[in-house]
Amino acid sequence: MKLDETVKNIKLIGDNILVFVEPPKKETQSGIIVSEEVAREHSELYGEVVAVGPSVKDFSEGDVVLLPPHGSTPTVYKNIVYHVFKEYSLFAKIEE
């Protein structure tokens, strides 16, 4: 994922983590259009850490992380949707 460099202007506080999650695809490979709700239910729950607060110990920018299905605070910056999580709510890093 290549994100706009303006994310570097965001300075989180505490143990907050800013994550970019690819929007769910609303069309199947065979061309069937699905509702946003169905697309979200069947999307993979992972994202890329784009910023971390000063109290975060286990995650850093660029990490790919497993996400809970609920519990984030969505926010929009420069027309891109990001999700803010507390460090304790993230499950794990994905190492590839």
pLDDT per position in the chain (96 positions), as tens?
Answer: 456 576 888 999 999 999 998 876 667 677 777 676 665 555 568 899 999 999 999 999 999 999 987 888 999 998 888 999 999 999 899 997
Full-model pTM:
0.78
Domain boundaries, the chain: 5-94
Q: Are 48 and 1 in contact (CB under 8 A)?
A: yes
Distance in angstroms (rounded) separating the CA atoms of residues 91 and 37: 23
Paired strand residues for 18: 51, 84
Q: Residue 69 has which token pair?
A: 């299905």
Sign of CA dihedral 96, 92, 6, 23: positive
Tell the CATH superfamily of the 5-94 domain. GroES chaperonin (2.30.33.40)
